[in-house]
């Protein structure tokens, strides 16, 4: 509903804080459904045996009291919130799906009491059946809506729990909440940095991929800033705490996610608009039917029976099932293909998408550096070159070093002495009597190693966006290695298909423009947005939304706010938990072909939802005149109502035949 039902609000208010709201709602409707049918099934057996087969399973004098007793808990206990919400809607003139259910069940139940006065037939059993069908529909709907996002809690869990600090010249460990601005924190290799600060001693590389989305660790030295929750790699850092609590970068990201939440259009809006007109119309028709029949027949029992039939046949149970059943089938189809639909709203908005924005690292690319190219002059033996390079690099923790070792794939390594990591430049060490240096041009120039014969190769590698490393021995350059984040095998195909179907594709990245253009060109994207800070991704998405509906595809924590801000957030299942929790759709396989499939699945699922809404109302449109004409007994009306629900469910299951 566009406005939340009162019982939905009460469910939210009463749930346990550690339990998602939707989980509590699912459990609530599940319990109501099971208990309702526990009483409704005996009622159905009694009604069918007596009214269709003419068999009285219990004495006729006791039948009505027995039905009243059985129906009471179904209508007034398990259906209490529905009755309360529906009746309030009638008095406040905000008509919702509960209004017809509430009026139909209460009037039907009261006929059981009035039947003792002899002027009306008993329909009390029908009231329980209506409510049982309704609670079943709500249970199915609550499952389809899925579980609540817990992204904020997941973000909070990313931070370090404790911090090692120096106080009174002693090293102590304290909870992160007790850190004060100015405290000196000690972060050892492999540990999370507790909070934002500035390095006062030491040097290391820091994995900031959780925040920036960039796969390569960033070299850090004295006076460099570091971010809380990022991971120290290979050196001990002494960091002065500069920001704590709500002022930290992580807290800022959390705030962005919170702000971007709740901006999407509820999928039920279409149904609600129809219902807001449909429900009061049915109420007027039901009242006019009762008055008209009583005026012409003077038979109150028949008049009430017609009125109840109108209310029951118009009961929007099928309408309640129309959306969730199609969503459940669509979700199942998607799950088999690794497409997880987390938010039903995405099905409604996906068909309007005009722009698809891709994060680069971990989305278009693998997020893992690889040796892309290398150049070794003929005078140098290739095996010898890789022996030297890998023997040195295996002593480093840097992800670039790991890429070299993996590419060399040696069984045996040379012994390295006097090994040193030269922060921001490379590595040095000795093998036997030979001094070996591996690193960038700066390191080579510092050691006066000539690169004259390699200048064209270095320029070529750098123009392709590679991280370029020169291997030298005794002041002679032996060769060059070009390392880059590799594009996923199917990224090019997926983006090509999107381009062909008329979508505007854009790549967004924190990388420099040269590297970004290289990757974009490789996969067929012409529009790029480079050098983007995490908090600016949201602004870029907002700006693009002025041109049309935007889908954002990402995998890192820094993508979470943009995933939320976009009209449809598509998260890579190979990414961080927070990105997955922020996505409306999740691609479990981490393949961009899934984006194309997700769009097709969404379009077909939404088409099926529209068909279901049509069938839900088609039954009413055809059957309401019959009910007004007095040709539908309330029990028959109830069966017709059930059939409309079955039709909707069957139609939803036909979605399985669709090709995506």
Average pLDDT of the segment spanning 265-271: 56
Buried b (16+ CB within 10 A) or exposed e, 276-291: eebbbebbebbeebbe
If one compares 526 and 133, the residue with the highest pLDDT of the two is 526
- Integer angstrom CA distances of residue 337 from 206, 324, 657: 36, 20, 14
Using pLDDT thresholds of 50, 70 and 90, give the confidence band for residue 169. confident
Which range, of 157-161, 199-203, 299-303, 387-391, averages the lowest pLDDT? Answer: 157-161
Average pLDDT of the segment spanning 597-622: 82
pLDDT of residue 123: 76
* pLDDT > 90 fraction of the chain, expressed in percent and rounded: 22
- How does pLDDT run across 1-44, given as a tens digit for each residue? 333 444 443 443 434 434 545 567 788 889 999 999 999 999 88
Which range, of 162-171, 293-302, 595-604, 647-656, averages the lowest pLDDT? Answer: 647-656
Dist. CA 119–CA 299, nearest whole Å: 8
- How does pLDDT run across 466-476, given as a tens digit for each residue? 888 999 999 99
3-class state of residue 547 by DSSP: coil
Tell me which of 122, 183, 207, 359 is the catalytic residue. 359
Dist. CA 309–CA 251, nearest whole Å: 57
The sign of the torsion formed by the CA atoms of 180, 182, 183, 185 equals: positive
If one compares 649 and 603, the residue with the highest pLDDT of the two is 603
pLDDT of residue 252: 66
pTM (2 d.p.): 0.60
Dist. CA 278–CA 271, nearest whole Å: 10
The listed range with the strongest mean pLDDT (16-20, 298-302, 598-602) is: 598-602
**Residue 416 backbone phi and psi in degrees, to 5:** -115, 130
Q: Which residue from 460, 518, 575, 515 is spatially nearest to 209, judged by alpha carbons? A: 575
- How does pLDDT run across 427-449, given as a tens digit for each residue? 999 998 899 999 988 899 999 99
β-strands 237-241, 476-487: how paired? unpaired
Q: Which residue from 607, 610, 358 is spatially nearest to 503, judged by alpha carbons? A: 358
Dist. CA 317–CA 305, nearest whole Å: 20
pLDDT of residue 15: 41
Joined tokens for residue 173: 């460990």
Contact at 8 Å (CB) between 367 and 555? yes
Contact at 8 Å (CB) between 567 and 353? yes
If one compares 277 and 152, the residue with the highest pLDDT of the two is 277
Q: Which residue from 379, 387, 386, 388 is spatially nearest to 473, judged by alpha carbons? A: 388
Contacts of 650 (CB under 8 A, 6+ apart): none
Enter the DSSP assignment of 556: S
Contact at 8 Å (CB) between 573 and 587? yes
Decide if pLDDT at 214 tops 60.
no
Count CB-CB contacts under 10 A for residue 476: 10
Average pLDDT of the segment spanning 499-526: 86
Dist. CA 420–CA 178, nearest whole Å: 36
Enter the DSSP assignment of 215: S
Decide if pLDDT at 244 tops 80.
yes
Dist. CA 357–CA 498, nearest whole Å: 11
Using pLDDT thresholds of 50, 70 and 90, give the confidence band for residue 264. very low
- Residue 237, H or E segment: strand 237-241
pLDDT of residue 650: 78
Which range, of 232-236, 245-249, 562-566, averages the lowest pLDDT? Answer: 245-249
pLDDT of residue 154: 57
pLDDT of residue 466: 84
- Residue 213, H or E segment: none
Contact at 8 Å (CB) between 589 and 602? no
Using pLDDT thresholds of 50, 70 and 90, give the confidence band for residue 108. confident
If one compares 408 and 169, the residue with the highest pLDDT of the two is 408
Dist. CA 19–CA 13, nearest whole Å: 12
pLDDT of residue 292: 92
Joined tokens for residue 523: 């996969």
pLDDT of residue 73: 95
Q: Which residue from 296, 304, 29, 61 is spatially nearest to 144, judged by alpha carbons? A: 29
pLDDT of residue 157: 64
- Distance from chain centroid for Cα 176: 29
Decide if pLDDT at 307 tops 70.
yes
Decide if pLDDT at 573 tops 60.
yes
Contacts of 629 (CB under 8 A, 6+ apart): none
User: Which regions of 433-475 does DSSP assign to beta strands (E)?
Assistant: 434-439, 467-473
Using pLDDT thresholds of 50, 70 and 90, give the confidence band for residue 478. very high
What's the order of all strands across the beta sheet hosting 426-431? 365-375, 476-487, 467-473, 434-439, 426-431, 417-422
pLDDT of residue 429: 93
3-class state of residue 95 by DSSP: coil
Dist. CA 326–CA 143, nearest whole Å: 12
Contact at 8 Å (CB) between 582 and 564? yes
HEC string of 600-630 equals HHHHHHHHHHHHHHHHHHHHHHHHHHHHHCC
Count CB-CB contacts under 10 A for residue 485: 26
Contact at 8 Å (CB) between 294 and 303? yes
Dist. CA 456–CA 605, nearest whole Å: 54
Contact at 8 Å (CB) between 257 and 155? yes
Angle between helices 317-336 and 269-297 (to 10 degrees): 150
Which range, of 359-368, 542-551, 575-584, averages the lowest pLDDT? Answer: 575-584
pLDDT of residue 68: 92
3-class state of residue 264 by DSSP: coil
User: Which regions of 455-548 does DSSP assign to beta strands (E)?
Assistant: 467-473, 476-487, 504-508, 527-529
Decide if pLDDT at 284 tops 70.
yes
pLDDT of residue 441: 87
For the chain, the helix, strand and coil percentages under 3-state DSSP, each to the nearest 5: 55, 20, 25
Q: What angle do CA 657, 658, 660 make, to 5 degrees?
A: 135
Enter the DSSP assignment of 159: S
- How does pLDDT run across 118-140, given as a tens digit for each residue? 667 777 888 888 888 888 877 77
Dist. CA 47–CA 66, nearest whole Å: 11
Decide if pLDDT at 325 tops 80.
no
Dist. CA 416–CA 387, nearest whole Å: 11
pLDDT of residue 14: 39
Which range, of 153-167, 175-189, 356-370, 469-483, averages the lowest pLDDT? Answer: 153-167
3-class state of residue 576 by DSSP: coil
Q: Which residues pair with 353 in a beta bridge?
A: 549
Mean pLDDT of the chain: 80
Decide if pLDDT at 71 tops 90.
yes
Dist. CA 11–CA 354, nearest whole Å: 37
Dist. CA 609–CA 323, nearest whole Å: 5
- How does pLDDT run across 49-68, given as a tens digit for each residue? 776 666 777 777 788 898 89
pLDDT of residue 127: 85
Q: What angle do CA 320, 326, 331 make, to 5 degrees?
A: 125
3-class state of residue 364 by DSSP: helix
pLDDT of residue 230: 85
Decide if pLDDT at 568 tops 70.
yes
If one compares 546 and 270, the residue with the highest pLDDT of the two is 546
For tokens 């027949």, the residue is 297
Confirm whether 247 is a catalytic residue. Answer: no
Using pLDDT thresholds of 50, 70 and 90, give the confidence band for residue 150. very low
Decide if pLDDT at 94 tops 80.
no
Contact at 8 Å (CB) between 444 and 477? yes
Joined tokens for residue 607: 């088409």
Count CB-CB contacts under 10 A for residue 453: 9
pLDDT of residue 12: 38
Decide if pLDDT at 232 tops 80.
yes
pLDDT of residue 96: 67
pLDDT of residue 387: 93
């Amino acid at each position: 509903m566009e406005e939340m039902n009162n019982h939905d609000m009460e469910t939210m208010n009463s749930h346990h804080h550690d339990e998602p709201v939707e989980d509590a709602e699912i459990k609530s409707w599940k319990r109501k459904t099971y208990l309702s049918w526990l009483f409704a099934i005996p009622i159905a057996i009694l009604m069918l045996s007596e009214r269709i087969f003419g068999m009285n399973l219990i004495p006729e004098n006791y039948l009505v009291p027995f039905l009243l007793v059985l129906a009471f808990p179904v209508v007034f206990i398990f259906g209490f919130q529905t009755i309360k919400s529906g009746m309030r809607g009638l008095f406040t003139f905000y008509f919702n799906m509960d209004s017809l259910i509430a009026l139909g069940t209460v009037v039907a139940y009261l006929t059981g009491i009035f039947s003792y006065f002899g002027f009306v037939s008993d329909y009390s059993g029908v009231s329980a059946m209506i409510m049982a069908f309704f609670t079943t529909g709500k249970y199915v709907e609550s499952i389809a809506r899925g579980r609540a996002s817990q992204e904020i809690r997941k973000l909070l869990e990313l931070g370090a729990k404790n911090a090692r600090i120096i106080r009174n010249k002693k090293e102590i460990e304290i909870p992160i909440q007790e850190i004060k601005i100015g405290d000196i924190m000690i972060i050892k290799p492999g540990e999370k940095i507790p909070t934002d600060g500035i390095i006062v001693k030491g040097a290391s590389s820091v994995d900031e991929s959780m925040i920036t989305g960039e796969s390569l660790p960033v070299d850090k030295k004295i006076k460099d800033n570091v971010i809380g929750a990022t991971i120290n790699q290979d050196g001990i850092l002494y960091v002065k705490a500069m920001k704590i609590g709500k002022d930290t970068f992580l807290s800022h990201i959390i705030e962005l996610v919170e702000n971007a939440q709740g901006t999407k259009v509820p999928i039920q809006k279409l149904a609600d608009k129809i219902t807001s007109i449909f429900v009061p119309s049915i109420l007027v028709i039901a009242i006019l039917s009762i008055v008209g029949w009583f005026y012409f027949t003077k038979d109150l029992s028949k008049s009430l029976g017609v009125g109840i039939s109108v209310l029951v046949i118009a009961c929007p149970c099928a309408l309640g099932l129309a959306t969730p059943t199609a969503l459940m089938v669509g979700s199942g189809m998607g799950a088999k293909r690794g497409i997880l639909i987390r938010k039903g709203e995405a099905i409604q908005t996906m068909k309007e998408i005009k722009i698809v924005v891709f994060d680069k690292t971990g989305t278009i690319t693998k997020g893992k550096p690889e040796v892309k190219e290398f150049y070794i002059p003929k005078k140098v033996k290739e095996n010898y070159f890789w022996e030297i390079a890998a023997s040195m690099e295996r002593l480093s923790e840097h992800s670039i070093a790991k890429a070299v070792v993996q590419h060399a794939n040696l069984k045996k390594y040379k012994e390295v002495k006097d090994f040193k990591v030269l922060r921001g430049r490379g590595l040095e060490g000795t093998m036997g009597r030979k001094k070996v240096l591996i690193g960038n041009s700066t390191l080579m120039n510092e050691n006066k190693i000539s690169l004259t014969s390699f200048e064209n190769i270095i320029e070529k590698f750098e123009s392709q966006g590679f991280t370029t490393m020169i291997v030298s021995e005794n002041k002679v350059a032996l060769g060059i290695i070009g390392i880059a984040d590799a594009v996923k095998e199917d990224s090019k195909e997926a983006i090509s298909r999107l381009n062909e179907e008329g979508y505007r594709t854009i790549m967004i990245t924190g990388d420099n423009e040269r590297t970004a253009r290289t990757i974009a060109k490789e996969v067929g994207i012409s529009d790029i947005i480079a050098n983007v800070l995490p908090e600016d991704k949201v602004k870029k998405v907002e700006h693009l939304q002025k041109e049309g509906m935007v889908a954002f595809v990402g995998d890192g924590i820094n993508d979470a706010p943009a995933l939320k801000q976009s009209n449809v957030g598509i998260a890579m299942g190979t990414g961080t938990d927070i990105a997955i929790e922020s996505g409306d759709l999740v691609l479990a396989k981490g393949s961009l072909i899934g984006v194309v499939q997700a769009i097709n699945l969404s379009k077909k699922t939404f088409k099926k939802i529209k068909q279901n809404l049509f069938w839900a109302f088609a039954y009413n449109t055809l059957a309401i005149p019959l009910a007004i004409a007095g040709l539908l007994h309330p029990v028959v009306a109830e069966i017709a109502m059930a059939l409309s629900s079955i039709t909707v469910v069957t139609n939803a299951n036909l979605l399985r035949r669709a090709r995506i």
